[in-house]
Structure 1
Amino acid sequence: MSAAPENQFHSDLYGGRLTIDVDAISRNWRVLREKLGGKSECAAAIKADAYGTGQKEVGRALFAAGCRTFFVAVPTEAIALRQVLPEAVIYALNGLLPGTSGPYLEHNIRPVLGSLAELEDWIALCKSSGRSLDAAVHVDTGIHRLGLSPEEFSQTLGDAGMMGPFVPSLLMSHLACGSTPSHAMNRRQLDLFREVTAPHAHLRRSLANSAGVLMGEDYHFDLVRPGISLYGGQAIDDDPNPMTPVAKVEARIMIVRDVPEGDTIGYGAMHTAKRPLRNAVVAAGYADGMLRRAGSTDERPGGFAMISGHRAPILGRISMDMITLDVTDIPEHLLERGTYVEMLGPNVAAADLAAYAETIDYEYLTSLGRRFERVYGPLT
């Protein structure tokens, strides 16, 4: 296990440690690819710095595993990824802002064209160059974010004179309710996507995110774009998560102290000790991605950490730089100053913490460890 190049200081100077297992990410990708039965290509969404795990490191590992197509959000992410993956196909999901076609062409980046104006600009560029330039076209099937309306999509792609030499490299849409497979919206989107793309079925098509991969062959088409599942996250809300954890956040104990019964803990005096307590204060907070909403109050429990197999509930509000844990029932020899405490990882799932914070595991993963030592290797 070795420290990543960006670590500037000795390990003891960090308040916490973020360990990332890129081999586990590659294994998760292979698990998803196997579900396709060789009928579809398995791409990878590595936007937001590969969901907080390191875009360059993850990109290299996935390419070595066999992944050849990658999706990021913005062109700056795409250009950075191109520096380490010169042969990969790279799509930028957020499309084509005015005046940005030059960098797309210079770095061989494919925009996902998500509006009629973007499509018209790209067609004009293709006509001026006299050739088709690779880009995807996004049709909105009901999520009402990016994407041409079905009417715009059908009218434009069906007009050979308007399209000129441009032939899309991919037709795509995005599921709104994939995390709930029984939701009627999924079938409506699937049916609409089939309908509007049927005249262009000779082109490659893509609908499935992580949830779509797990929902079965109907959603796979020619290419799937898993994201959260690659990083061990929960793609489908009520099913067991088949993916392997890939990240572990550990924070160091700064102090262990006694709290008398009836005293309050943390900002706002939100949590009152119902008995004499011992608490441990660890060097992590919302500035490190430990979301404030996962704190506890007298009315509701908060999240938890794990210390050598023992559960340590969060007490009171999560501060910017520290969290207080209830260690009353944990053996004292496990609570030495400087000891690492698992805040998220194999024993503290991001989805579980997210439930306490009234959010989703995506938010945890993409926010993690800006001040932690970053280490690449196994989570053991």
Structure 2
Amino acid sequence: MHPHTAAIKHGPSLEQAGAILTIDLAALRENYRRLRDRLGGAACAAVVKADAYGLGAGEVAAALRKDGCGTFFVAHAAEGLALRMALGAGPEILILNGIHPGAEVDCAEAGLIAVANSAAQLAAWRETARRLGRRLPVAIQGDTGMSRLGMPPSEVDGLAADALDGLDLKLVMSHLACADEPESPANEAQRAAFEDFRRKLPPAPASLANSSGIFLGGGYHYDLARPGAALYGVNPTPDRANPMRQVVRLEAKVIQTRDLPVGVGVGYGHAYRPMAPHRAATIALGYADGWPRRAAAAAFFDGQRLPFAGRVSMDSIILDISSLGRDLLPGELVELLGGNQTVDDIAILSGTIGYEILTSLGRRFHRRYLDG
């Protein structure tokens, strides 16, 4: 992080908020370049659904545009329309879940690209093109073995001869279910199924690789890769060292400090009782801010680990600061996420994945965007 870099500020003011979430856009852009460089001649898009995994789709996409990213994927029409307003004309924005009935005209007029996951979605988009009297771009997604979204082989086989009338097929795509398990036979099975799927459609650019799929090798890269979590610092290769830079830093303010005598009950349920006298600090962060209640982790001050004492509360956490060698003052900051403790570290402690940690981060933080 670069604490003295000029920052864009969002959310509550620094004085009003209990915690600060810093998004390092320079690190994000570096992650994009690292992923793009692994692709050789394939293009690199960016998945910015769920408000760019909780970090701000408008800010993230605008930063990635500086490094030439011209294609963005979101999940819902509302996300696509908001991103179009933020970015203006130019970038391609694709709606991964397809467009819900009734939203087609709004999306078409905003220049969004529907990802058709079924024959019904494809027909509705074709009808929208007819109503508007102009051709519309479309992507078609096939289900090659994840059983989540996309046309199964039988549905592709049953497409009418005029299924693409009035439409420009911009992309043929599918999604890998086990890309983060490079030895899984499911990866090659899906790649083979994707080849079969492509043959049933007119020639078009192809996309299969997500963040982890990029690391499976060139056979999975095709024409366009769609990284998401790796852009934001989540490890796309869980069995190896993380090749990505950390993007987020989360710091919470100290509210007050106190002495804890031996045996005193600490927090809800008195789940913690010190076996020796402690000095404790209560910080302004809790599960209402997206910190997992089961993640009994630690905070850090000047690189020194300060373990949690007792359970995570809705708006606060108690820390054991006995080893610090000094007291903490109200308003001083301790680090919860950053160089000492990553999103993936907390995910492991919580029995979940980094994606969930990022997308759960709340809106009560003072948010800073650094780029430079």
Distance 1:312 1:8, change over 3 A: closer
Q: Alpha-carbon deviation of 1:199?
A: 4.3
Residue in 2 aligned with 1:71?
Answer: 73
Counterpart among 146, 168, 186 of residue 149 in structure 2: 146
What is the aligned counterpart of 2:34 among 31, 35, 59?
Answer: 31
Is the CA contact 1:15–1:372 (under 8 Å) kept in the aligned structure 2? yes
Counterparts of 2:162 and 2:46 in 1: how far apart (Å)?
34
**Which stretch shows the higher mean deviation, 161-170 or 319-328?**
161-170
Residue matched to 2:329: 336
The answer as to 2:365 corresponding to 1:372 is yes
Q: Which residue of 1 aligns with 2:283?
A: 282
Task: Confirm or deny: 8 A CA contact 1:285 1:318 kept in the other structure.
Answer: yes
1:100/1:164 CA distance change after superposition, 3 Å? same
1:274-332 deviation line (CA, Å, top 9, x unaligned): 333222110011111211121xxxxxxx2121111111122221111001122221121
Q: CA deviation at 1:128?
A: 4.9
Quick check: 1:20–1:375 contact (8 Å CA) kept in 2? yes
Aligned to 1:299: none
Tell me, yes or no, if the aligned pair for 2:76 and 2:99 is still in contact at 8 Å.
no
Map 1:262-281 to 2 at 5 A. 262-281=263-282
CA contact (8 A) 1:95 1:111 kept: yes
1:273 counterpart SS class: coil
> How far, CA to CA, are the matches of 1:8 and 1:51 in structure 2?
20
Checking the alignment, whether the CA contact within 8 Å between 1:249 and 1:369 is kept in structure 2 is no
Matched, 1:59 2:52: no
Among the aligned pairs, what percent are the same residue?
42
Aligned partner of 2:316 in structure 1 is: 322
Per the alignment, in what secondary structure is the counterpart of residue 148 of structure 2? coil
Contact 2:7 2:371 survives alignment (8 Å): no
Q: 1:378 to 1:98 in 2, by over 3 A?
A: closer
Q: Distance in 2 between matches of 1:238 and 1:280?
A: 36
TM-aligned CA deviation for residue 7 of structure 1? 3.9
Q: Which runs of 5+ in 1 are unaligned?
A: 295-301
Question: Quick one: which amino acid aligns to residue 94 of structure 1?
Answer: N
Instruction: Please state whether the residue corresponding to 2:81 is helix, strand or coil.
Output: helix
Partner SS state of residue 280, structure 2: strand
- Corresponding residue number in structure 1 for 2:181: 180
- Contact kept, 8 Å, 2:180 with 2:236, in 1: the verdict is yes
SS of residue paired to 1:83? helix
How far apart are the structure 2 equivalents of 1:154 and 1:274?
A: 69
The answer to whether 1:351 aligns with 2:351 is no
Q: Is the 8 A contact 2:23 2:55 kept in 1?
A: yes
Please list, as runs of the form range in 1=range in 2, the aligned pairs for 1:1-380 lying within 5 A after superposition.
1-2=5-6, 4-9=8-13, 11-37=14-40, 39-85=41-87, 86-128=89-131, 131-156=134-159, 159-200=160-201, 202-294=203-295, 302-333=296-327, 335-377=328-370
**C-alpha distance in structure 1 between counterparts of 2:34 and 2:118, whole Å:** 34
CA RMSD of aligned residues (A): 1.9
Q: Secondary structure at the match of 1:65?
A: coil
Aligned 8 A contact 1:20 1:246 in 2: yes
Deviation at 1:261, TM superposition (A): 2.8
Name the stretch that deviates more: 163-172 or 343-352: 163-172
**Whole-angstrom CA distance in 2 between matches of 1:212 and 1:88:** 23
Q: Distance in 2 between matches of 1:27 and 1:340?
A: 27
Contact map agreement 2:246 2:339 (CA 8 A) in 1: yes
| Distance verdict in 2 for CA 1:369–1:162, change over 3 Å | closer
Distance 1:81 1:227 in 2: 16
Native 8 Å contact 1:3 1:373 kept in 2 = no
Q: Equivalent residue of 2:72, what SS?
A: strand
1:239 shift after superposition: 1.3
Deviation at 1:25, TM superposition (A): 0.8
CA offsets per residue over residues 103-156 of structure 1, 9 Å max, x none?
111100111111221112123334555654111111111111111112212332
Question: Alignment partner of 1:103: what SS?
Answer: helix
Q: Matched residues in 1 for 2:95 and 2:180: separation?
A: 23
| C-alpha deviation, 1:12, in angstroms | 2.4
- Say how many residue pairs are matched: 367
Cα offset for 1:260? 2.5
Partners of 2:259 and 2:281 lie apart in 1 by 9
TM-score, with normalisation over the residues of structure 2? Answer: 0.93
In terms of mean alpha carbon deviation, does 251-260 or 22-31 score higher? 251-260
**SS of 1:332 mapped into structure 2:** coil
User: Contact 2:9 / 2:368 at 8 angstroms: preserved in 1?
Assistant: no
